[in-house]
Amino acid sequence: MKKQRTFYIDLVLAAICLLTLITGLIIHAAGHGIVQSNVKIWRVTHIVWGVLFLILSTGHIRAHRGWYKSLPERFRQRSKVTVCLSAVYLLTSATGLILILHRENAGTHLGILHYQAGILFGILAIWHLCGRMKILLTMRKHTEKRPQKG
């Protein structure tokens, strides 16, 4: 059951990550005049996806807490992509929350830092996901074979 829940959290997390990245890029493009739609709707959508991502990612991190606990003593053996992804996740989340709570404009230095961290996070997240695709596909096969209770 735990692996099945982890699989579904990871699957939804990947989709929400992509949606958050896309809405962030649309907001950025609108700031340059490339997108001519209602930016406020995109900002709200980006915030909703971002907060959902933040909430679901806590489940992902909890599911892999053993990896994080052993990080200090096994740093050299750990995936550098995942370590960097974790650090950039903290930066992107912190800057996003500060922007929300202080209602700052995305054009500020903090907003630009959030945008740049978000781009880096997106690249690392895709890299992380591609590296775990075989594991996710194996988990998918196991979740499909289990009979449903009920």
pLDDT of residue 144: 61
Structure-block tokens of residue 93:
């989340």
Structure-block tokens of residue 2:
């735990």
Q: Which of 64, 48, 46, 49 is nearest to 10 (CA)?
A: 64
Exposed, middle or buried by CB within 10 Å (0-12, 13-18, 19+), for 137? exposed
> What pTM was estimated for this model as a whole?
0.79
Domain ranges of the chain: 2-65+77-145
pLDDT of residue 45: 95
Residue with tokens 């099945």: 4
Q: What is the pLDDT of residues 14-69, one digit of tens each?
A: 999 999 999 999 988 887 888 777 888 999 999 999 999 999 998 888 888 887 78
Highest mean pLDDT among 5-9, 30-34, 103-107, 126-130: 126-130
Give CA angle at 59 (55, 61), nearest 5°: 105
Residue with tokens 């950039």: 88
Residue with tokens 């996740």: 89
Q: Which of 69, 63, 30 is nearest to 136 (CA)?
A: 63
